Amino acid sequence: MAKLTLNNVSSGYISTDALNTNFDLIETALENTLSRDGTSPNPMQAHLDMDGYDILNIGDALIGGVGLAASVTAAGESASEAAISAAEALASETNAAGDAAIAAAAAFELEDLEYRGAWVAATAYLKNNIVYYSTDGASYICLASHTADADFAVDLGAARWGLLALRGAAGAGTGDMLKSENLSGLANYTTARSNLGLTIGTNVQAYDADLAAIAALAVTDGNVIVGNGSTWVAESGATARTSLGAQATLVSNSNIKTVNGATILGSGEALPAPSTSGNVLTSNGSVWTSAVPSSGSMTLLDTFATTSGTTITRSGLTLTGYKFLLLAFDRVSHNGTIIQNSEYISVGGAIITPAFNGTGSVSGLVWIDLSSGITTSLVFGGEGGLANTLSSISTDTTSLAFTLSNRSFDAGSIDVYGVK
């Protein structure tokens, strides 16, 4: 099929349109041809059929980005290398077979090797027997079975023996370290022990007669190791108690009358019988008695709720028998704005707490000595402690009044404990 067919142009007014149409056909046809200088479009959109003709003067054709000539060369080289590898493999196999044969022959020969010790005249030797010839210190292997001549040199000259190993040359040092000497030939035993990491007293324990005596003692259950004045001995529990002057059980209270020279029981005095469970041994200054232990020494007497008012009073208290009052303040606060260093809690006109801090509350402990009236406060709102004297409080006091200066109580509580 023709790639370009032009219309005939006739004379008349339509000649211009016919020419333009032909020009369009020519342009379309040219766009569908290959460009020698590579002007676009130039890529193929269908197979290129050479119809049996050759492509002449071609450079290296690229196939998938790889030059055809380079690919052909590489393929040839790979084929050549493969052939060489095959030849080498065949040669290796041949060599391996040869080596196996040699090894088999050597193994066959080695099976007959036998060391016969020092060479002895008039002795029958077999091929591959090995002997030591003391005259030159060398070792020899028998090359042919024979009965030894009286002179080894005769058999050696007749090629019945072959040299196997020469005696080594003498070293630069002098003297011998022989097995039979058991290290007796050492030049310096101390240095040798240090070199071996066996320095006595540093790496190993030196001999000690006391340790040897202890190590020799029988490991009998219940035995005690004691010194008898000259060495260490093992004694039973009963013997050890006797040695220590102790007894296993109380005997008429006699063995606890004195301890380290101090008198515990007087003459003729005995401990009271432990007849009541829970009793304790107590002294009244002259004799020992069995008595019920005293109950808890601190008693909660009252709790003051500090939730309203400027003064909180409690009557009907009994402080007789107590030595101290312990006041436990638990987050006691007031209902107003803090005026720095002006809010205190007092009892009987005496201040017992530090000033309220920025939190507007206080917590802590106050001790009151009922015999002297001295108070000590601890851990109040991070403001430290305070010491004062309440002369109005004693064991005769029956009421307490807590007063907050400049403000009213708002929250918290005060626990009052009696301490004996």
**Given this model, what pLDDT does residue 66 score?**
65
Residue 236 sits in the same domain as residue 149 = no
Residue 310 sits in the same domain as residue 401 = yes
Segment of 1-5, 174-178, 298-302, 385-389 carrying the highest mean pLDDT? 298-302
pLDDT in tens, 164-195: 999 887 766 666 667 778 888 788 889 999 99
Quick check: 317 and 301 in contact, CB under 8 A?
A: yes
Q: Is 125 helix (H, G, I), strand (E, B) or coil?
A: strand
Q: In this structure, is residue 57 part of a structural domain?
A: no
Q: In this structure, is residue 192 part of a structural domain?
A: no
pLDDT band at 149 (very low <50, low <70, confident <90, very high): very high
Q: In this structure, is residue 158 part of a structural domain?
A: yes
Whole-prediction pTM: 0.32
Residue 229 sits in the same domain as residue 271 = no
Percent of the chain's residues with pLDDT above 90: 15
Q: Which of 358, 356, 354 is nearest to 376 (CA)?
A: 354
Strands 114-118 and 129-133: parallel
Residue 325 sits in the same domain as residue 386 = yes
Residue 326 sits in the same domain as residue 399 = yes
Residue 311 sits in the same domain as residue 355 = yes
| Residue found under tokens 């003459």 | 267
pLDDT in tens, 206-265: 888 888 898 899 888 888 888 888 899 888 888 877 777 665 554 444 545 554 455 556
Q: In this structure, is residue 8 part of a structural domain?
A: no
| Residue found under tokens 């320095």 | 199
Our count of domains for the chain comes to: 4
Residue 313 sits in the same domain as residue 271 = no
Residue 279 sits in the same domain as residue 352 = no
Average pLDDT over the chain, rounded to an integer: 77
Residue 281 sits in the same domain as residue 306 = no
Residue 272 sits in the same domain as residue 376 = no
Host domain of residue 214? 209-244
Q: What angle do CA 394, 396, 397 make, to 5 degrees?
A: 70
Q: In this structure, is residue 99 part of a structural domain?
A: yes
pLDDT band at 108 (very low <50, low <70, confident <90, very high): very low
Ordered DSSP codes for 295-350: --SEEEEEEEE-SSSSEEEE-----TT-SEEEEEEEEEEESS---TT---EEETTE
Residue 330 sits in the same domain as residue 368 = yes
Domain boundary residue, one of 166, 188, 218: 166
**All residues at 6 or more sequence positions from 331 whose CB lies less than 8 Å from its CB, including other chains:** 361, 362, 363, 411, 412
pLDDT band at 1 (very low <50, low <70, confident <90, very high): low
**Given this model, what pLDDT does residue 379 score?**
52
Quick check: 198 and 182 in contact, CB under 8 A?
A: no
118-122, 177-181, 382-386: least confident range: 382-386
Q: In this structure, is residue 310 part of a structural domain?
A: yes
Q: In this structure, is residue 333 part of a structural domain?
A: yes
Q: In this structure, is residue 390 part of a structural domain?
A: yes
Would you say residue 283 has pLDDT above 80? no
Residue 263 — φ and ψ, nearest 5°?
-80, 125
Which of 355 and 369 is assigned the larger pLDDT?
Answer: 369
What's the length of the chain? Answer: 420
Q: Which of 302, 320, 298, 308 is nearest to 397 (CA)?
A: 320
Does residue 41 have a cis bond before it (omega within 30 degrees)?
Answer: yes
What tokens appear for 243 in the block? 């040695």
Mean per-residue pLDDT, 123-130: 94
400: number of Cβ within 10 Å: 22
Domain boundary residue, one of 166, 190, 217: 166
Which of 43 and 285 is assigned the larger pLDDT?
Answer: 43
pLDDT in tens, 312-327: 888 888 888 888 888 8
**Given this model, what pLDDT does residue 130 score?**
95
Residue 382 sits in the same domain as residue 330 = yes
**Given this model, what pLDDT does residue 119 score?**
96
**Given this model, what pLDDT does residue 143 score?**
94
Which of 335 and 415 is assigned the larger pLDDT?
Answer: 415
